[in-house]
Amino acid sequence: MGSRNLDRITIAERRRGAETISDMWKGRWKVRAYCESCTTELRVDLEAMVRLLGPGFVLWNRTTRCRAILSVGECSGRVFFKGKPPGASGFDYLGTPPRMLRPKAGPMSSGRGAYLNPEDIEPTAMTAARGPSPPEPVK
């Protein structure tokens, strides 16, 4: 038969041959650092990292603080690492992907966001056409 499609091999299966940054560099992996908060994505120079941190440093399941400077100040997000082995079509998280964050405001938030309270909205033609509000229950 034929060989296995490279995109069908999971990142966990490819980890065996690229445990350290030295192994990744020798295997010609491409690595990116991605911040979940400000969505900054940067290319990681594996050769420089091997020289700075040593050949045994591991990026799998590792995060770090985002150091991006934004127009409103410093980012407070977490940086996750994504890797792309040779022959793969896209980048995958090196370990556990970031958890889904709850928005600070909006319909999916806890309700204390920047949205108006329905009682604070003035009546419009649409609400007037519905008629008067039902009476409050007696306590």
Domain boundaries, given as residue ranges, for the chain: 1-94
- pLDDT tens across 52-83, in order? 999 999 999 888 888 888 777 888 888 999 99
CA 128 to chain centre: 45
Q: Tell me the residue ranges of DSSP E strands in 48-105.
A: 63-65, 69-70, 73-74, 78-84, 92-93
What pTM was estimated for this model as a whole?
Answer: 0.63
Asked whether the beta carbons of 62 and 96 are under 8 A apart, the reply is no
The mean predicted confidence, pLDDT, of the chain is 77
DSSP letter assigned to residue 119: G
Q: How confident is the model at residue 31 (pLDDT cuts 50, 70, 90)?
A: very high
Q: How confident is the model at residue 25 (pLDDT cuts 50, 70, 90)?
A: very high
